[in-house]
Chains A and B, each alone.
Chain A
Amino acid sequence: MLVLVLCAACGDGARVRIGSKKFTESVILAEAGTALVREAGLEVEHRRELGGTTILWNALVAGDIDAYPEYTGTIAAELLADAHLDADDDVAMRKALADRGIVMSSPLGFSDTYALGMREDEAARLGITRISQLRAHPELAYALSHEFLERKEGWPTLRERYGLDATPAGMDHELAYRGLVAGSAQVTDLYSTDAEIAVGHLRVLVDDLHHFPDYRAVWLWRADLAPAAAAQLERFAGRISVAEMIRANARARIDGEPEAAVAADLVARVLGVRVAAVSASRADRILTHTGEHLGMVAISMLLATLVAIPLGILAARRRRTGAVILALVGVIQTVPSLALLVFMIPLLGIGWVPAVVALFLYSLLPIVRNTAQGLTGIAPSLRESAEALGLTAWARLWRIELPLATPAIIAGMKTAAVINVGTATLGALIGAGGYGQSIMAGIRLSDRATILEGAVPAAVLALAVQGVFSLAERWLVPRGLRPARGARARVPAVDGAA
């Protein structure tokens, strides 16, 4: 079973896998590329919304995906930063990429440059049209995307170049827009092809000091990509104008059309090719995500239980080793889940495996700790009685100590499983699917229904997991230890909270 799942995750060589970042334009382009490659009769799969630039690039280099849409500015400033390339020097860039086994396509036509933007009415009131004018308005609040805050050509150098004095709040790109609309922030970073620009809500501030490099859209693919697939992707060369891209973004983000349909329409408009819009029904998606989510939770919990109970026993037996074990699994718990997932990528690639491993690591602490506490909490008189009977150490553990610790152990597993269900929504960030896929897509598209499509089943699953463990308590906890009758049970109730 486990082997099957792991191999489903590693994929087969024949199938082309096109990745996308977790923003609409990337999803539409990848969807369009996928449709066109499929049109050529190849097996192809779109691995949607895998996360940010780092994740996609690592996945491409590692061979977890074969191609994804990228921007020249990002390639020069982020991916090949060590080479100090000029974003306009395609020859040098191609050569540096080739050294890493990666091919860059011809530019698709449009550029999606970073820019700063303000609400049109606000900007008009203050008379701001250029970024340099922001210096005179230190009172403005900035809501910037995390990626923009981090990137070398983003906030750190922008603020220096323009001498801006502000403490920006970091948030999700799509959320920053909403902060702007709601008035909680006045300035955000945006992309020059953003849908909101099309409907006139936003003013793009002129980059008068020419800080941002050019972000021409291109495909990156692995040198070992099937030539037929590469040829299909190359067909987009020079065909997608800024206007077409803004239009497509707007249809997806503002009109709420399915990305597959938008992408099919884009392909038809720019290439004159009819491709099928493959998009699953809501029920299908929920079903798929449930399978992915349950799989992640079940397998990581199974592995965690198999490892954590022996660790808990060891921790109870040897106090000093126990302190080390608990400290270690405790430290894992403090690593932010996103960071842990990103750590996993260079080691394990993207998809199921790293997600399951991360969830496994998170599930250890509650189970190890409760097992250890359940065992050390056993009354000395009971230990002594078991010893006096002449049982072997193993028999004592198996027949006396573990049964006495079951309430604590099950409480620990319950805690781990509930945390696990919640954390597994982040699996979508590294291509493991699950309910997080809908939640992320919904946030990106400002589409409540899609968010609920992930959030509601996730909540239901959390409740169901609680229910299952309550049943397990009934089945597994010996009668004499149950609260109602076992008033004399001397195993202390161990709280399960993390």
Chain B
Amino acid sequence: MIELRGVARRYGEEVALEPTDLAIARGQTTVLIGPSGCGKSTLLRTIIGLVAPDTGEVIFDGVRVDAASVRAVRRRTGYVIQDGGLFPHLSAADNVALMARHLGWDAPRRQARLDELAALVRLPRELLGRPPGALSGGQRQRVSLMRALMLDPEALLLDEPLGALDPMVRIELQDDLRAIFATLGKTVVMVTHDLAEAAFFADRVVLMRAGAIVQAGAVADLERAPADEFVTRFLRAQRRGFGGAA
């Protein structure tokens, strides 16, 4: 579904992403994990052209992502970031329906889709009239997810979607998200800091370090056969910090 071929990116002297190859299978949930600053967000952004690679190319469903194709690729993808990135000047409903309106959907069609999505993400419909500033963090993430799903995209890219939430809300949303992924069967690429969360969602975990992929596979594979010393240390550190979760 998504393929990175030798994608690399630097900012001045700083290497954000070494030349990287990665294939992401359709319908799977892939989780990017690794220490802060290792290039997870950068990798995610290159997929929909928010960051242009210095070298290499991204293939999305057989199409090379470039200036000509990027808008179409973005419309076939839903993107959610840590604090939601909701536009404060629009109501929750208008945030969700923005792109549909831009594409000329009529009001009944938009409303029907809104109702459907509100039910899917379990957001009370009356909250949709509020501006994002008047919603809780968890509610905002549900609205963000609705916005990402509005055009029924084939892929979902989530950059630490639950990172800013308190543990109770986070666990609740983890359950809901996993249910939604299972229902919709979309291709999901998710970034997290938390191994337990990764294990909870992932068909496949991609562990990164300093701009490069160290090892990819199921969490159990990483534990059983760590590729190097770093993998072992990373897993151990995660176990201590978040012992017992999931």
User: Is chain A's interface secondary structure helix, strand, loop, or mixed overall?
Assistant: helix
| Minimal beta-carbon separation of A479 from chain B (angstroms) | 6
Q: Is the CB of A404 within 8 A of B71?
A: no
Q: Mark B78-99, 1 if CB is under 8 A from A, else 0.
A: 0101110111111100000011
Is B245 in the interface zone, CB < 8 Å from A? Answer: no
Q: How many A-B residue pairs have CB under 8 A?
A: 86
> A470 to nearest B CB, angstroms?
19
A278 at the interface (CB under 8 A from B): no
Which residues of chain A are within 8 angstroms of B133 by Cβ–Cβ distance?
480, 485-489
Interface residues of B in 28-78 (CB under 8 A from A): 45, 48, 50, 71-75, 77
Instruction: Please tell me if B134 contacts chain A, counting CB pairs below 8 Å.
Output: yes
Report yes or no: B88 in contact with A404, Cβ–Cβ below 8 A.
yes
B131 on interface, CB distance cutoff 8 Å: yes
CA distance A403 to B90 in the complex (A): 9
- A382-B87 contact in complex given A390-B72, A486-B131, C-beta closer than 8 Å: yes
From A381, A389, A399, A486, residue with most partner B Cβ within 10 Å: A389
Residue in contact with B87 in the complex, picked from A387, A390, A395, A404, CB distance below 8 Å: A404
Q: What are 27 A-to-B residue pairs whose CB atoms are below 8 Å?
A: A381-B82, A384-B85, A387-B50, A388-B48, A388-B79, A389-B75, A389-B98, A389-B99, A390-B72, A390-B73, A390-B74, A391-B99, A392-B71, A395-B102, A400-B87, A400-B89, A403-B89, A478-B88, A479-B91, A480-B88, A480-B133, A481-B88, A486-B131, A487-B133, A488-B88, A488-B132, A489-B89
Q: Pick the contact of B134 from A386, A403, A485 — CB < 8 Å?
A: A485
B interface residues (Cβ-Cβ under 8 A, vs A) = 45, 48, 50, 71-75, 77, 79, 81-83, 85-91, 98-99, 102, 131-134, 147
Write out the residue numbers on chain B whose beta carbons fall within 8 Å of the beta carbon of A381. Answer: 81-83, 85
Chain A residues with CB below 8 A from B134, complex form? 480, 485
Which of chain B's residues have a CB closer than 8 A to the CB of A382?
85, 87-88
Interchain CB contact under 8 A, A390 and B71: yes
B131 / chain A contacts, CB cutoff of 8 Å: 478-480, 485-486
B50 and A478 form a contact (CB under 8 A): no
- Chain A residues at the B interface, C-beta cutoff of 8 Å: 381-382, 384-392, 395, 399-400, 403-404, 406, 478-481, 485-491
B72 surroundings in chain A (CB, below 8 A): 390
Complexed CA–CA distance, A485 and B88 (Å): 10
Given A390-B74, A480-B133, A489-B133, A385:B85 Cβ within 8 A: yes
Give the CA-CA distance A404 to B131 in the complex, in Å. 13
A101 to B244, CA, bound (A): 100
Q: Which residues of A contact B102 (CB under 8 A)?
A: 391, 395, 399
Contact present for B79 and A385 (CB under 8 Å): yes
| Assembly CA distance A480 to B102 (angstroms) | 20
A478 touches B85 (CB 8 A): no
CA distance in complex: A142, B126 (Å): 77
Within the assembled complex, what's the spacing in Å between the Cα atoms of A96 and B17?
81
- Cα A488 to Cα B82 in complex, Å, equals 15
Contacts of B86 in A (CB 8 A): 385
Q: Is the CB of B89 within 8 A of A385?
A: no
Residue of B whose beta carbon sits closest to that of A395:
B102
B residues in contact with A390, CB < 8 Å? 71-75, 99
Cβ–Cβ < 8 Å partners of B45 in chain A = 384
